[in-house]
Amino acid sequence: MPYSESEQAYLTRLGHRLRSLRKQRGLSQEALAFEADLDRTYVSSVERGERNIAVLNLAKLARALGVEVSVLLGSEE
Amino acid sequence: MPYSESEQAYLTRLGHRLRSLRKQRGLSQEALAFEADLDRTYVSSVERGERNIAVLNLAKLARALGVEVSVLLGSEE
């Protein structure tokens, strides 16, 4: 496990938020990946909190979901 | 140049926002890097828009600046 406990918690929350936003829109991982020009397996691993995703990929996912990146990141205390 | 024009513009805006927040707090790059547990040269390259920074490093910088990550990212249209 390359991440500290709090880092892993951060990535897990981000992944849950991504999954929730995707499902709200009725999109499959494949459909979201296509819209965002990313690989489906990559989207899947982000949703599982396994990726320390870079900001340009966050921006791609946010654009594909029609939200700002800050919505994807949510409010962190 | 590994980034598209719009991607580079995104990273450049992010870098400017980081620099602005840092200066508002009267912090040197070195002081911010120390607080965020990052390298000064890394902080410098992020400020110049040269890094597709990963979300956990964004979180470290935001914490060191006392803002949420969304403030660092700003409102993107």
What ipTM does this complex have? 0.90
Q: Chain B window 16-75: which residues touch A at a Cβ cutoff of 8 Å?
A: 52-56, 58-59, 62, 68-70, 73, 75
Chain A: give the shortest CA distance to residue B41, in Å: 18
Residue A77 binned pLDDT confidence (cut-offs 50, 70, 90): very low
Cβ proximity of B15 and B47 under 8 Å:
yes
Residue A68's CB is within 10 A of a number of other CB atoms, namely 17
Which residues fall within 8 angstroms of residue B19, CB to CB, at 6 or more apart? B47
Report the alpha-carbon distance of residue A31 to residue A23 in Å, rounded: 11
Q: Which of A73, A6, A18 is nearest to A47 (CA)?
A: A18
**Mean pLDDT value across chain B:** 93
Q: State how far the Cα of B17 lies from the Cα of B72, in Å rounded to an integer.
A: 6
Residues of chain A with Cβ-Cβ distance to B10 below 8 Å are: 55-56, 59
- pLDDT tens digits along B25-54: 999 999 999 999 999 999 999 999 999 999
Nearest beta carbon to residue A75 from set B11, B56, B68: B68
Residue A26, C-beta contacts closer than 8 angstroms, at least 6 positions apart: none
In chain A, residues with a C-beta closer than 8 Å to the C-beta of B68 are 70, 73, 75-76
The distance of Cα A64 from the centroid of its chain, to the nearest Å, equals 11
Per-residue burial over B38-76, b if 16 or more Cβ lie within 10 Å, else e, is beeebbbebbebbbbbbbbbbbbbbebbeebbbebbeee
Using a CB–CB cutoff of 8 Å, tell me whether A9 touches chain B. Answer: no
Place of tokens 């990963």: B54
- Which residue of chain A comes nearest to B77, CA vs CA? A68
Report the C-alpha gap between A42 and A37 in whole angstroms: 11
* Res. A22: pLDDT tops 70: yes
Q: A14 CB near a chain B CB, below 8 Å?
A: yes
